[in-house]
Amino acid sequence: MDVVQLKSGRIKVAVDARLLSLSPLTGIGRYTLEMCNVLRKMDRVSLFLYSPSPILSLYSSSLEGAVFRVKNLNSMLLRRLWYETYLPWRVKRDNMDVFWGPIHHLPVWLPQQVASVVTIHDLVWKFFPETMRPLSRVLERIQMPLAVSRADHVVADSQATAQAVIEEFKASAERLSVITLGVSKFKPPQNIGALSKLNIHSPYFLFVGTLEPRKNLVNLLLSYSQLPPALKKRAMLVIAGGRGWGNVRLKELISSLQLAEHVILTGYVDDKMLATLYANALFLAMPSLYEGFGLPLVEAMSYGKAVLTSNKASMPEVAGDAGLFVDPYDPESITQGLQQIISDQGLRDKLAANAKTNAARFDWDESARKLVGVFEKSIAARISRQGDVAAL
């Protein structure tokens, strides 16, 4: 890899930190926070966070050492104008070496001397457009191809996503790197008695994620409803996550399937309660239609839990030998998987034994180091191109 000689001896990294102004954090927001938390502690990096809205103190308190460039813009139009006009100007004024877009996008214009890196987490807009808000779908369809074509380097969360980027955008494999997510360091789980606050008093398996169509909760509930009554008594289903959009009325579906005694909707839970849920679950169920990575899989495995998940996209790659795989489109396949993993303690123990070893593959420190390597490579390529142009 090319060694970049910088006057300051440190890489000045500009980060699109818009998601850190929101609460609760979704998957990409957590990814941004976790990466920045490691980057800001690295001797080689000077971290600058840019946002049109104030970064919440909940997150900024863990980002000591970073430089914050934030505004207080309320309207969507003003925030959009900030992104495409003020942000590039400010990045140039701050004399940044590289701009990192962790949210699929880059500003249309960036200073020529600033290298650019974009992270692509998934291609939901391409494969499952019906599971997205219309405006988000349109923006992704327009902005992602522009970002991939203009970036000095593209980062993907998984081999599955990297392959999709290559096929969809004809991107060069030399300009693309796979850098996986890591395992979040949650606060220690509470005593199992804390679960009584959520009315959980029986053994349970767990779903974690935003309640949105792509998560396939309808098929999970339909499949669970087909289990024999004795198995439902052995393992209730706990669904932990905030409401997304376009979701069916889950409470009504649960009632119509006569599952009210067996399913608990917790809503959004904080990290301490989430750790408690993971630590005490029988296993995680995540039969998503599509995931670019699937962070809850790694989180569950870090607690030594087996996972039941889809045989599609990135999920087999992430779950590895800790996973029992089902067809997310086939409720009968999910039912069979649930029946097998609930009734067969030996199978559950075998998968759980592999879980922590598998989860150890995913480390935020290592991922951040690889990302800095990509920054250095991108800066070197940008400097080389500028030198070639100057020589003409």
pLDDT score for 84: 96
Does one domain contain both 169 and 65?
Answer: yes
Other CB atoms within 10 A of residue 6 CB: 14
pLDDT score for 382: 87
Per-residue pLDDT of 89-136, as tens digits, reads 999 999 999 999 999 999 999 999 999 999 999 999 999 898 888 888
Gyration radius of the chain over CA positions: 22
Does one domain contain both 289 and 302?
Answer: yes
What tokens appear for 249 in the block? 């009325």
Does one domain contain both 285 and 308?
Answer: yes
Residue 100, beta-bridge partner list: 15, 117
Q: CA angle 146-151-152, nearest 5°? A: 155
CA 319, CA 352: separation in Å to the nearest integer? 11
In a domain, 6, yes or no: no
pLDDT score for 167: 96
Does one domain contain both 61 and 145?
Answer: yes
pLDDT score for 247: 56
In a domain, 5, yes or no: no
Does one domain contain both 170 and 245?
Answer: no
In a domain, 266, yes or no: yes
Asked if residues 177 and 156 have their Cβ atoms less than 8 Å apart, the reply is: yes
User: Which residue do the tokens 């087999």 mark?
Assistant: 316
Average pLDDT score over residue span 179-193: 84
Per-residue pLDDT of 205-264, as tens digits, reads 999 998 888 999 999 999 999 999 999 999 999 999 988 766 568 889 999 999 999 999
Compute CA 303 distance to the chain's CA centroid, rounded to the nearest angstrom: 18
Residue 392 binned pLDDT confidence (cut-offs 50, 70, 90)? very low
Lowest mean pLDDT among 5-9, 81-85, 157-161, 348-352: 5-9
CATH number at residue 197: 3.40.50.2000
pLDDT score for 212: 86
CA 271, CA 213: separation in Å to the nearest integer? 24
Does one domain contain both 83 and 173?
Answer: yes
Asked if residues 91 and 115 have their Cβ atoms less than 8 Å apart, the reply is: no
Give all strands (DSSP E) within the chain, no chain letters.
Answer: 11-16, 45-51, 67-70, 98-101, 115-120, 153-156, 176-178, 204-208, 236-240, 263-267, 283-286, 306-310, 323-326
Does one domain contain both 269 and 254?
Answer: yes
Number of compact structural domains in the chain: 2
Residue 385 binned pLDDT confidence (cut-offs 50, 70, 90)? confident
Does one domain contain both 111 and 210?
Answer: no
Q: Categorise residue 13: left if φ over 0, alpha if ψ from -120 to 50, beta otherwise.
A: beta
In a domain, 205, yes or no: yes
Average pLDDT score over residue span 352-363: 95
* Residue 221: strand, helix, or coil: helix
Does one domain contain both 339 and 378?
Answer: no
Does 5 have pLDDT greater than 60? no
Average pLDDT score over residue span 136-165: 96
pLDDT score for 155: 99
Residue 308: which of 229, 203, 223 has the closest Cα? 223
Does one domain contain both 202 and 272?
Answer: yes
pLDDT score for 23: 86
What tokens appear for 228 in the block? 């024999």
Residue range(s) defining the domain that contains residue 341: 192-359
In a domain, 187, yes or no: no
In a domain, 337, yes or no: yes
In a domain, 325, yes or no: yes
- Cα separation of the two ends of the chain: 26
Looking at every residue in the chain, the average pLDDT score rounds to: 93
In a domain, 168, yes or no: yes
Q: DSSP code of 68?
A: E
What tokens appear for 25 in the block? 């954090």
Does 365 have pLDDT greater than 70? yes
Does one domain contain both 110 and 208?
Answer: no
Its pTM stands at 0.90
Interior/surface letters 284-293, b for 16+ CB within 10 angstroms, e for the rest: bbbbbbbbbb
Average pLDDT score over residue span 357-379: 97
Residues in the chain: 392
Does one domain contain both 124 and 254?
Answer: no
User: Which residue do the tokens 């995931």 mark?
Assistant: 291
